[in-house]
Amino acid sequence: MVFIFEFIGTVAFALSGADVGIRKKMDLFGVTILAMITAVGGGIIRDIILNVTPPAAFREPVFTLSAIAVGIFSFITARRHIQLQQIAICEVLLRTMDSIGLGLFTVVGVETAFVHVQDANIYLAVFVGVITGIGGGIFRDVLSCSTPFVFVKHFYACASLIGAVVCALCWPLLGSIFSMLIGAIIIFVLRNLAAHYRWSLPKIAQNKQAMKL
């Protein structure tokens, strides 16, 4: 079940990474690398924190290879003028895939913490879960010269945090599978509600006069 979760999350995040690369007018190599790092970057950080070496991305190359295949496929379809980013239904599809990846990777991170660390506390599980969920996206945005999405858009990282907390709290009561399902569903719902209703955390309003100075 965990393998299935991680595989689906890998494909979902690889699609979002490839889409950013295409929007930034990168070449085939750039689009593929962005797809790959978005898909496996968070998991690599997770495994390094938990001292799980080598990271799963290198022990089980199916995740990396799948992300590369998604990147190449996305580039080929874009080259054939199937402009996914210009079609409304594809925007919804990409957002849905990104939400699925965020939810699944977050709860897989929580599961990895509980499995690999004896007597892991909730703080560690939640921290690792959130890092797994948002880490790849941060790598993607930095490599594409963009402000990381989690710092400026909607209720993204907070959705991951809430889902990770719920998953970790339910773990001793409901077991691994039900806890992961509940956490992933909560993240998916919150992420899509935030995108639909434009939920955002408070920001500091910039004074135009001050900016000129």
Q: pLDDT tens per residue, the chain (213 residues)?
A: 778 888 888 888 898 899 889 888 899 999 999 999 999 999 999 999 999 888 988 888 899 999 999 999 989 888 665 554 455 556 777 788 888 889 999 999 999 999 998 888 999 999 999 999 999 989 999 999 888 878 876 678 899 999 999 999 999 999 888 999 999 999 999 998 888 787 777 877 666 554 444
The token pair that represents 141 in the structure block = 């945005």
Closest CA to 44 of 36, 115, 76: 36
The type of residue at 12 is: A
Per-residue pLDDT tens over the stretch 135-194: 998 999 999 988 887 887 667 889 999 999 999 999 999 988 899 999 999 999 999 888
Residue 161 CB neighbours (<10 A): 20
Structure tokens that stand for 102 in this block = 């965020």
CA–CA dist 74, 88 (Å, integer): 17
pTM of the model: 0.86
Domain assignments of the chain as residue spans, ordered by start: 2-202
Tokens of 118: 């004896």
Give the span between the Cα atoms of 150 and 144, in whole angstroms.
14
Can you tell me whether residue 203 is helix, strand or coil?
Answer: coil
Find how far residue 72's CA is from the centre of its chain: 19
